[in-house]
Amino acid sequence: AMREAEALARKAKACLAPFGKKAWMLEALADFILRRKA
C-alpha cells in the first residue's frame, strides 16, 4: 500500500509542479490525508 501511495504522491507532485508556491499547501494536505488513511 505504501508503494502505491508513494507513486500517487510522485504523480501529484509532478502535476502540481507548475503551481509553484501553492503546491506546498496541496502537498501538505495530501500528506495529511495519506496519514489518516494509513
Predicted TM-score (pTM) of this structure: 0.40
Q: Which domain holds residue 11?
A: 2-37
The contacts of residue 2 (CB under 8 Å, 6+ apart) are: 38
Average pLDDT of the residues in 15-25: 73
- Residue 23 has what pLDDT? 73
The contacts of residue 26 (CB under 8 Å, 6+ apart) are: 12, 16, 19
Alpha helices in 1-38 (DSSP H): 2-16, 23-37
Average pLDDT of the residues in 6-22: 77
pLDDT at 16 over 70: no
Average pLDDT of the residues in 1-15: 81
The count of domains in the chain is 1
- Residue 38 has what pLDDT? 66
